[in-house]
Amino acid sequence: MPASSKTASAAQTPATRDAILNMLKREGELCASQIGPALGVTPMAARLQLYALEAEGLVEARSEAKGRGRPLKIWSLTEASARVFPDAHQSLAVEMIQSVEELFGAEGLAKFVKKHGDMQRKAYGEKLAKAKTLGERVKGLAKARTDEGYMAEAKKDGRDWLLIENHCPICSAAKACTGLCAGELKVFSDVLGKDVKVTREEHILAGARRCAYRVKASSTA
């Protein structure tokens, strides 16, 4: 089999398929010439897999003019791609939220959200107990959130840290109860430290590709 055929075959494996989906989830829009080398295959091999994913309705492309040559295809995930990422039993969660509100009203729902936040605060607090610096706390929180399906990562940005969540496994539940997002922002502020300010800069529910939180300390940590 020619080398080019072997490369193309390698790009069709489930592992490569998943790697492309995860790469687009984490990085946003990319072209085949960026995806291929990052995965150890040729741009053409990556393009073949992208076309297959497009046929599944998981990715889509837009054209971008580049000089006099052929327009460049820029690929991104579709809304339908959410089905291949963790969903944390969203349908059940939405039903439970609706039931709580129907049975106990807005006050009961608020208590439910507070209880959820208290449980998160306790769990994250235990996981971050040994962290000595702000960086260690943000990284530890990112690890905890990744374990829950948020595809989270911690990045240094000048004097600040960014907590980035590339996926929301409770998106449907958060839409049904916006208090969940507000509650989580408060939880992050509490577990990351008293002298830390956490602000949300990107929000999936507001149409962004990801949720991003800026973590700013009163002193370098």
pLDDT digits (tens, 9 = 90+) for 108-118: 999 999 999 99
Q: How far apart are CA 35 and CA 49, in angstroms?
A: 11
Write out pLDDT tens, residues 45-80.
999 999 999 999 999 999 988 777 788 899 999 888
Write out pLDDT tens, residues 148-176.
999 999 999 999 999 999 999 888 888 88
Q: For residue 219, what pLDDT is reported?
A: 61
Domains annotated for the chain, with CATH where assigned, are 3-84 (1.10.10.10), 90-217 (3.30.1380.20)
Question: Which of 70-79, 87-96, 147-156, 210-219 has the highest average model confidence (pLDDT)?
Answer: 147-156
Q: For residue 4, what pLDDT is reported?
A: 46
Question: What average pLDDT is seen over the chain?
Answer: 88
Q: Has residue 1 got a pLDDT over 50?
A: no
Q: Has residue 137 got a pLDDT over 50?
A: yes
**Residue 69 or 127, more confident:** 127
Angle between helices 43-55 and 3-11 (to 10 degrees): 40
CA dihedral sign of residues 171, 121, 116, 187: negative
Q: How far apart are CA 208 and CA 221, in angstroms?
A: 29
Taking residues 198-220, report their average pLDDT: 90
Contacts of 187 (CB under 8 A, 6+ apart): 117, 120, 121, 124
